Structure 1
Amino acid sequence: MDHIRTQPKRTFNKRTVIVVAAVAMVVACGVGLASVDFSTQRVDRDKVSVDTVRRGLMEVKVHANGQLVPRSVEYLASQVNARVLKKYVRPGATVKAGDLLAELSNPQLTASAAEAESAWKGSVNTLNASRADLRAMMINQEAALMQAKFALERAQRRLDAEQSLMPGVIPRVEHDATVLTAAQGREQVDMETRRTAAVRINVQEKLNADQARSDELKKAMERANDQVANLRIVAGIDGVVQEMNIDVGQQLQPGSPVGRIARPDDLYAELRVSAREANDVLAGQKVSVDTRNGVVGGTVTRVDPSVINGTVVVDVTLDGKLPAGARPQLPVEGTIFLTRIPEATFVGRPSYVKPDATVSVYKLDTSGHYATRVPIAVGKVSMDLMQVKGGLAEGDRIITSETGEWQGQDKILLK
């Protein structure tokens, strides 16, 4: 005989369980939503940079781009009106002083130089002929003076002799004639002396004039020869040809650029520092120059007083051997060490921060979820660090990246 089994009575049925679970979920969601901060702007944590305030030695540095510049440079230019006949070198060639780089052609200059040389040689011959003629003239005049002196000497001796025989032996008339002859002789000597001096001056003036003419023609010849010599463009220094901007057949005018030669072993760095960061750059400061093939130390030697396109040119003398591949116009990156501040409070520098100013930064709370905008006092700034003079303490954390669209918020939430 079969017996009917009775089911035990359950406290909760299935429907009740589902209802209770749904109610619990709704309550949990309500509690969660109640704890969510909808009033604070949310910022993706992965899109911001955070740095911690530290204390210790801070190096103030300035970063700048630039290039290597040769200290010894020769700029070549045409000195005459001529056509390029031959070109012997190309950029990159190593040359020595005196090496022929290019040859120009101008037949008129060559002909003018030949004519100038002929004119000068003719003036030299004329000068030599004048010198011979004037020397003969001077000899003749000196001979005339000497004859006048001899005649005076004879007259004076005769006069002395007659005076010893006077009176009675020599007639008075004859003695008077001797006196007159002696006086005439003295006048003749005086006149010939003056004439000799005048002739000597005249001779010298004529020689000076002929010499000046010859010298003038010689200078004209030298100028013409210099112009002919300028048809040969030669290197003035040892170095490497940087540019050679001419072609065979090209017509050049005086002053037309031809090329440039530089010494590759004598380079310095020319850095362009932002004008707002150049105030503290001084001669004597140490510099690290990165040539991409190596780093070399240097020293600031000159700071340009003018600002060009928002930058200041800083010259840096390089110390030691240059890295391989260093050459003129090679782009470089320089780091100038301005000063060292011991026991400084510092943190990573936001890009918008300026030195010796009061700025606002976003400071994280202890949980790291919220960041509140706070004012701080900034001292010195380096290329990636800033000195904090007030508003932050060691261990504080701030956002150092760009604030973007939330820069106007007093408080943000990092998610």
Structure 2
Amino acid sequence: MALPGFLNKRWLIPVFVLAGFILLSGLIFSSALFGPRLEVFTLQRGELVQTVVASGRVATPARVDIGTQITGRVAAVPVKEGQTVRAGDLLIELAAADEKAALELAQANIRQAEARLRQLQQLTQPTSEQVLVQAQANLINVEKQYQRTRELVTQGFVGKSQLDESQRALDVARSQLKSAQFQLQSSKPDGSDYQLAVAGLQQAKANLAAAQAKLEHTRITAVVDGVLIARDVERGDIVQPGKILMVLSPAGISQLVVQIDEKNLRYIRMGQPAFGVTDAYPGQKFPVQVAYINPGVDAQRGSVNVKLNVLKSPLFLTQDMTVSVEIEVARSRDALSLNVEAIRDASTLHPWVMAVVDGRAVRRPVTIGIRGDKSVEITSGLNPHDVVLPATNMTIEAGQRVRPVVTKNPQS
């Protein structure tokens, strides 16, 4: 049945206003009596992982700076930056005309010294032996002649002048014998002439070795297998010792060098497993392991230098790439955790939360264990069924009535 017209028009708006007033009053009364409706976090139980994240770059344990030991003009550079080389491969070749001439001269001096030694062995020594034999025979004859002359002088058959002449001949024969003996001794292996010849040969060989070394210095080769990561030399350049011409990254274990915030130093230990990821390939993680922790702290940065070995190097990993590492420092299979947004004064020694107990806000001190990305482990201070207000809600004070509304609890 239709309502009278005055009810449809005149009284409709006041009725709705009255109904809205009654509803609003109920809400205000309910809020004043039971407290405001606020979202809260609940505790979760499950696996929780704590990680330390840091950034750095790719580096090898040692890099090889390539340079020259002599001054010279570059004749050829047969390799390019980024090229993989083997130990012994030619990297830089210098002009070597002077060095080759010096080598030929040293080789000629070797041949001359060897000929001098052969001459002593094959000619001088045998000749000296024959001269000694002749000198010995001559001395015997002269001594016999001297004895006969002496007897004749005694018998008065010859004058004293002939005896003097025989004496002089005897002295000469004796001198010749001594000279022959000295000559023979000098030509033997322990003699002075022989030793001089040996020393001359040794000096010539040393000069040859020096010339060969200097010639070898004109060919700069790779000392180990690796990749050329820098090149600063071109054909025609005049190079000299002390300048780095190339940088070689040796093949083998690559490392990630990162800076860890000193507040996380207590979590890092040798041999810890971790994962690395490059900015260029963010979706491709690779395993790494902590290999070195610097004993000192960088005072300006407030960080510690840490190196991690790459256990399985991906093909795209190259020198000086920017990388990030995620080091797992703690893991709990059955942790009682709470959203990190509920923790107040988390960085101090006395963290606490504002829990809701029997409809009222209650301040609770808590003990924190493992810290995940979005949740932290609560080791004491709360029960599994407690609910906690967000730390961002600063208007609620302890003892105030609250009506909790459970919200989603994101976990790490």
TM-score range (shorter-chain normalised) is 0.5 to 0.7
Q: Which residue of 2 aligns with 1:288?
A: 275
Aligned length: 363
Q: Deviations over 1:120-140 (max 9, x none)?
A: 134224413432454444333
Equivalent residue runs for 1:103-182 within 5 Å: 103-104=93-94, 110-135=96-121, 136-147=123-134
1:2-54 Cα deviation digits (max 9, x unpaired): xxxxxxxxxxxx999999998997787677667767xx9x9997xxxx75433
Q: Shift of residue 365 of structure 1?
A: 1.8
Residue 382 of structure 2 is aligned to residue 389 of structure 1: no
The reply to whether residue 210 of structure 1 matches residue 204 of structure 2 is no
Q: What residue number does 2:305 align with?
A: 312
Structure 1: which amino acid aligns with 2:199?
A: A
SS at match of 1:329: coil
Q: Which runs of 5+ in 2 are unaligned?
A: 1-8, 145-153, 156-170, 406-412
In structure 1, C-alpha distance between the alignment counterparts of 2:267 and 2:49, rounded to whole Å: 13
Q: Percent identity?
A: 19
**Match of residue 265, structure 2, among 268, 278, 281:** 278
Shift of residue 210 of structure 1? 1.0
- CA distance in 1 between partners of 2:330 and 2:13 (Å): 72
Secondary structure of the residue that 2:267 maps to in structure 1?
Answer: coil
Q: Deviations over 1:62-83 (max 9, x none)?
A: 3333444346754433444445
Match of 2:271, SS state, is: coil
Cα 1:19–1:123, aligned 2, differ >3 Å: closer, same or farther? closer
Consecutive unaligned residues of structure 1, counting only runs of 5 or more, are 1-13, 159-172, 175-183
Q: Which residue of 2 aligns with 1:267?
A: 254
CA distance in 2 between counterparts of 1:57 and 1:21 reads 54
Shift, 1:367, TM fit: 8.6
Per-residue deviation, residues 325-348 of structure 1 (Å, max 9, x unmatched): 333333333332334445544334
* Mapped partners of 1:99, 1:371: distance in 2: 76
Give the equivalent residue in structure 1 for 2:409. none
Matching residue of 1:336: 327
Residues 1:62 and 1:248: Cα distance change in structure 2 (over 3 Å): same
**Could you say if the C-alpha distance between residues 331 and 116 of structure 1 is closer, same or farther in structure 2, counting changes exceeding 3 Å?**
same
- In structure 1, give the amino acid aligned to 2:270: A
Deviations 1:212-248 (A, max 9, x none): 4313422331243133224xxx444444433323455
Q: Aligned partners of 1:27 and 1:192: how far apart in 2?
A: 147
TM-score by length of 2: 0.64
User: Measured at CA, do residues 397 and 102 of structure 1 come closer, stay the same or move farther in structure 2, by a change above 3 Å?
Assistant: farther
In structure 2, relative to structure 1, the CA distance for the partners of 1:21 and 1:92 (3 Å cut) is closer
Instruction: Give the secondary-structure state (helix, strand or coil) at the position aligned to 1:255.
Output: coil
Q: CA deviation at 1:315?
A: 1.6
Inter-CA distance 28–397: structure 2 relative to 1 (3 Å threshold)? closer
Match of 1:363 in 2: 354
Supply the distance in 1 between the matched residues of 2:385 and 2:305 (Cα, whole angstroms).
Answer: 37
- Secondary structure (helix, strand or coil) at the match of 2:229 reads strand
User: C-alpha deviations, 1:257-314, integer Å up to 9, x for none?
Assistant: 3333446775344444332223232233322334534233343333333334413313
The 1:146/1:44 distance shift into structure 2, 3 A limit, reads farther
Tell me how far apart the structure 2 counterparts of residues 211 and 399 of structure 1 sit (CA, whole Å). Answer: 95
TM-score normalised according to structure 1 size: 0.63
Structure 2 residue corresponding to 1:257, chosen from 244, 262, 274:
244
CA distance in 1, matches of 2:362, 2:71: 74
The more displaced of 273-282 and 110-119 is: 110-119
Aligned positions of 1:77-92 closer than 5 A: 77-83=67-73, 86-92=76-82
Cα 1:145/1:299, change in 2 over 3 Å: same
CA contact (8 A) 1:303 1:315 kept: no
Q: CA deviation at 1:206?
A: 0.7
Equivalent pair of 2:117/2:198 in contact (CA under 8 Å): no
Closer/same/farther in 2, CA of residues 273 and 51 from structure 1, 3 Å limit: farther
Q: Could you list the per-position Cα deviations for residues 188-222 of structure 1 after superposition, in whole angstroms to 9, with x for gaps in the alignment?
A: 98997677445532023312331243134223312
